[in-house]
Amino acid sequence: MNDYTIIKKNGNLSELLISREDRRNALNSDMQYSIINSIQEIEQDDTVKVVLVRSSGEDFSVGADIGELVKMDREMAEKFRENMLKITQLIFLSTKIYIFYLTGYSLGGALEMAQWSDIIIAHEKARIGQPEINIGINAGAGGNSILPVEVGYRNAIYMAVTGKIISAMEAKQIGLVQEVVKTESEMLEIATKISTQDPMTLKSIKRTMRIASKTGYDEGMRVEKEEFVRLVQSRSTKDLLSRFLKK
C-alpha cells in the first residue's frame, strides 16, 4: 500500500500525488518508498505517456523531514540518499514524459526530484529553493550536480550557499522552471496537450535529448538521425503527415 501517494489516471496522463499534508509533504523514508512503488507501478502501464507529479496539499513539499534527518547515523543517511537517487533515476531514465507541478513551498530534495524530470511548471505563488545550507547539509538527491547545468554555475552556487528561496517567476527567468501559471487548469491544459501527442515521437525526442545531455553533441546527433529515420517510416507519422496535408 502506498500510504503517502495517490495515483490517478486520465487517458494517457497519469497523476502521481504526494500526500503527507500534516507535515507539509516533508520527505521521510516511508514516503520515499511510497514514491518509488508508485513510479514503478506507473512505469508498468504502457498506455501512460505523461506522468504529472504534484501534491495534494498547499505546498508541493518543504523537502526532507528534518525530524528524521537529526536522528540519522551513517547507515540511515546512505539509505536515504540511495532512495532519493533511485527516485530521480526512475524519472530520468523513463521513456515517459515527467512533469512536476510546484505549488507553495517547493524546497530541497523535493525540488531536486523535479529537477530530474522533463518539465517543471510552477504556480505563480510557488516559493522555490535549495536551502539545505541553513541546516548544515548539502543536496541529497543530486541537486548540487544538476543545478549548475540547468541555471549556470554562478546562479546555482548563489542559490545553494545563500539558501535563498526564489519566486516562480525568478525560477523561470534563470531556466529552472519552464512555465508559470495562475491556475491549476492552465497547468492541466499543458500536461493534457502533451499527453495527446504521438507516443513514439515523444519517446524519440526524450531519448535524443537525454543522450545528448549526458554524452554530448556528436552522440546526440547520431541518435537524432537514427530516430528521425525510424519515425518517418512509422505508420503513426505517415498518418499525421497525411492529416496535415489535408488541412
Q: What is the pLDDT of residue 207?
A: 93
Q: Under 8 Å CB-to-CB from 53, ≥6 apart: which residues?
A: 15, 16, 18, 98, 99, 100, 101, 113, 114, 117
Beta strands 97-102 and 119-123 are parallel
Active site residue 132: yes
Q: Give the active site residue among 112, 179, 189, 224.
A: 112
pLDDT score for 200: 93
Q: Which residue in the list 41, 82, 132, 179 is annotated as catalytic?
A: 132
Predicted TM-score (pTM) of this structure:
0.93
pLDDT the model gives residue 2: 65
Query: Residue 135: its pLDDT value, please?
Result: 87
- The series of mean pLDDT values per 10 residues for the chain, 247 residues long, is 86 96 93 97 96 95 92 93 95 96 95 96 97 87 87 94 96 97 97 96 94 86 92 91 88
Helix, strand, coil shares of the chain, percent, nearest 5, are: 55, 20, 30
| Cell numbers linked to 16 | 502521481
**CA 71 vs CA 17, 74, 80, 83, 242: distances in Å:** 27, 10, 12, 17, 62
Beta strands in the chain (DSSP E): 5-10, 13-18, 50-55, 97-102, 105-107, 119-123, 127-129, 165-167, 179-181
How many other C-beta atoms lie within 10 A of the C-beta of residue 232?
A: 10
Q: State yes or no: is 219 an active-site residue.
A: no
